[in-house]
């Protein structure tokens, strides 16, 4: 069986089943995984992997699914991992997702039946132009769809099925990893890289068909703590130095025409105050600091500190403290040391019949941290669009292309060994 001759896919059937399981993660939870319900899907995945004959499939105590497809070749092939996340974004409801398949799409606006004000307009979604004749899956108007990243999960599951059923496709040992809590930045906190035992990996968590991403932001979290001077407001003249007002002055002192998410694009970085809390006595501003160039994080942080310093001179009795925490790093620093990972990813996309497009992400993936934990891991398209909202969509044909891409990746690693 040639990979491109495969016509019987189950990826869409799997996908529409998986999205009906609510797996929303919760950034305000301190447990791991952040929500127990993520395991509802993970348990299904384990059972389906076992049913395929993948004997070591299991759910660990942290909510990760691990599984191994044994090698079927004499050659010494690097162990390759495929990874997706089971959770969906906290930004939009994932409860009672009702997937709808719009067969043979003809360029119309898609009105979602449970809330007719939610319309996926052809004009607003340029990628719909590539979908004429395809079958498009959407939610029904009240929830997100969950293509991010259940498309990736379904693609890996269907590729696993095809590999188990078609032993003539030669491959080395393949590891499967499904993570919880990616959407809240904790997806790899408890991954056991040693146990996983893979040399290289691919996350299936990208967007448009044909894309592969080897660059992410580098990311720090920066917190400014302000201690003001609290006095009874009736007796405050000349004494009170309100931390609330200091905090808002600091926000106002930040650059307005640059260095923010709303004024930058492509590889430009930013400083972004995303939460503020406090009282007269003390206040806290949480920033995220982002840039593709890790070295520039330092100067961005310095700009924040300069703003704080210039404001605080107006409040001589107030004090401040800045804390910085590393979040993740641009995976390109690691991937450049192993060029064959991207070469094979790109060639696999080409063999599946697409024009490969190499991109960078204004964000992170599980792969950006996995790469620095010893598992270099670019991000391959899963086919979803308009992530994290009610307009999310994915097509059957693009998910099938992703399954083929996975198969070509494993075949290419074997071929080149
Ligand atoms: Zn994702």
Would the pLDDT of 116 be above 80? yes
What's the rounded Cα separation, in Å, for the pair 88 and 113? 22
Question: Which structure tokens are listed for 24?
Answer: 């929303």
Rounded to 10 deg, the angle between the 147-165 and 11-18 helix axes is 140
* Residue 193 Cα distances to 11, 36, 342, angstroms: 28, 23, 21
Q: ∠393-161-189 over CA atoms, to 5°?
A: 65
Other CB atoms closer than 10 Å to residue 263's CB: what's the count?
12
**Average predicted confidence (pLDDT) for the chain:** 97
Average pLDDT, integer, range 177-189: 94
Q: What is the distance between the terminal CA atoms of the chain, rounded to a whole angstrom?
A: 21
Which pLDDT band, with edges at 50, 70 and 90, does 240 fall under? Answer: very high
Please tell me the distance between residue 227's alpha carbon and the centre of ligand 1 in angstroms.
38
Chain position carrying tokens 């925490």: 325
Give the distance (Å) from ligand 1 centre to CA of residue 121: 23
C-alpha to C-alpha distance for 409 and 40, rounded to whole angstroms: 30
Q: Are 144 and 97 in contact (CB under 8 A)?
A: yes
- 141: tokens are 């108007």
Q: Would you say how long the chain is, in residues? A: 417
Return the pLDDT at 223.
Answer: 98
Q: How far is the CA of 362 from the centre of ligand 1 (A)?
A: 13
- Give the whole-angstrom CA distance, residue 148 versus residue 139: 13
Render 314-343 in DSSP notation, one character per residue. T-TT-EEEEEEEEEE--THHHHTT-HHHHH
Q: Any alpha helices (H) in 56-190, and if so which ranges?
A: 147-165
Residues 6/12/15/20 CA torsion (nearest 10 deg)? -160
Lowest mean pLDDT, pick from 84-88, 258-262, 364-368: 364-368
Pairing of strands 393-395, 136-138: antiparallel
What per-residue confidence (pLDDT) applies to 363? 87
User: Residue 100 burial (CB < 10 Å; 0-12/13-18/19+)?
Assistant: middle
84: CA distance to ligand 1 center in Å? 8
Alpha carbon of 347 to ligand 1 centroid (Å):
23
**230 near 311, Cβ under 8 Å?**
no
Please give the structure tokens belonging to residue 342: 């991207």
Backbone angles phi, psi at 192, to 5 degrees: -100, 95
Q: Among candidates 380, 4, 1, which has minimal Cα distance to 200? A: 380
The strands making up 270-278's β-sheet, listed across from edge to edge, are: 270-278, 282-291, 218-227, 319-328
> Distance, CA 304 to ligand 1 centroid (Å)?
29
Distance 217 CA to ligand 1 centre (A): 15
- Examine the pLDDT at 1 and tell me if it is beyond 80: no
- The CA-atom distances, in angstroms, between 195 and each of 85, 175, 198, 254 are 18, 10, 9, 45
Give residue 140's Cα distance to chain centre. 23
pLDDT at 412 over 80: yes
Considering only CA atoms, which of 371, 374, 369, 381 is closest in space to residue 406? 381
Distance 308 CA to ligand 1 centre (A): 34
What digits encode the pLDDT tens for the residues 6-21? 999 999 999 999 999 9
Residues serving a catalytic function are: 87, 182
CA distance 249 to 245: 6
Q: Please tell me whether the overall predicted TM-score, pTM, comes out greater than 0.85 for this model.
A: yes
Distance 85 CA to ligand 1 centre (A): 7
349 in Cβ contact with 405 (< 8 Å): yes
Distance from the CA of 119 to the center of ligand 1, in angstroms?
A: 23
Distance 205 CA to ligand 1 centre (A): 5
Helix or strand (DSSP H, E) at 209: none
Question: How does pLDDT run across 209-230, given as a tens digit for each residue?
Answer: 999 999 999 999 999 999 999 9
Quick one: tokens of 335? 């991937």
> Whole-angstrom Cα distance, residue 48 to residue 72?
21
Q: What is the pLDDT of residue 409?
A: 98
pLDDT band at 364 (very low <50, low <70, confident <90, very high): confident
Cα(182) to ligand 1 centroid in Å equals 7
């Amino acid at each position: 069986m040639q990979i491109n001759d495969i016509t019987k896919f189950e990826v869409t059937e799997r996908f529409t089943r998986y999205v009906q399981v609510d797996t929303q993660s919760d950034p305000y939870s301190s447990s791991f995984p952040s929500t127990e319900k993520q395991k509802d899907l993970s348990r299904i995945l384990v059972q389906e992997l076992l049913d395929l004959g993948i004997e070591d499939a299991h759910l660990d105590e942290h909510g990760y699914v691990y599984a191994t497809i044994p090698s079927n070749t004499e050659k010494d092939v690097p162990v390759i991992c495929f990874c997706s996340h089971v959770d969906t974004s906290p930004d939009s409801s994932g409860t009672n997702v009702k997937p709808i398949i719009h067969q043979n799409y003809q360029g119309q606006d898609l009105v979602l039946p449970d809330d007719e004000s939610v319309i996926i307009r052809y004009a607003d979604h340029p990628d719909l132009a590539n979908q004429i004749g395809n079958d498009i899956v959407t939610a029904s108007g009240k929830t997100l769809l969950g293509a991010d990243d259940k498309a990736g999960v379904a693609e890996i599951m269907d590729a696993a099925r095809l590999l188990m059923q078609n032993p003539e496709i030669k491959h080395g040992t393949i590891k499967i990893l499904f993570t919880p809590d990616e959407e809240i930045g904790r997806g790899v906190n408890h991954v056991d890289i040693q146990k996983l035992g893979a040399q290289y990996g691919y996350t299936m968590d990208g967007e448009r068909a044909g894309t592969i991403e080897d660059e992410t932001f580098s990311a720090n979290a920066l917190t400014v703590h302000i201690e003001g001077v609290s006095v009874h407001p009736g007796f405050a003249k000349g004494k009170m130095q309100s931390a609330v007002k200091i905090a808002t002055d600091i926000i106002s002192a930040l650059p307005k025409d640059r260095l923010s998410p709303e004024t930058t694009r492509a590889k430009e970085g930013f400083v972004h105050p995303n939460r503020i809390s406090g009282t007269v006595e003390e206040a806290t501003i949480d920033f995220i600091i982002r840039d593709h160039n890790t070295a520039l994080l330092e100067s961005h942080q310095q700009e924040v500190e300069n703003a704080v310093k210039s404001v605080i001179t107006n409040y001589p009795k107030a004090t401040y403290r800045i804390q910085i925490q590393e979040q993740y790093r641009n995976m390109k620093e690691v991937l450049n040391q192993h060029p064959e990972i991207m070469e094979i990813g790109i060639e696999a996309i080409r063999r599946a019949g697409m024009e490969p497009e190499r991109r960078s992400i204004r964000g992170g993936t599980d792969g950006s941290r996995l790469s620095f934990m010893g598992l270099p891991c670019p991000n391959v398209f899963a086919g979803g669009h308009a992530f994290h909202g009610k307009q999310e969509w994915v097509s059957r044909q693009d998910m099938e292309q992703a399954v083929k891409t996975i198969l070509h990746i494993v075949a290419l690693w074997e071929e080149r060994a």
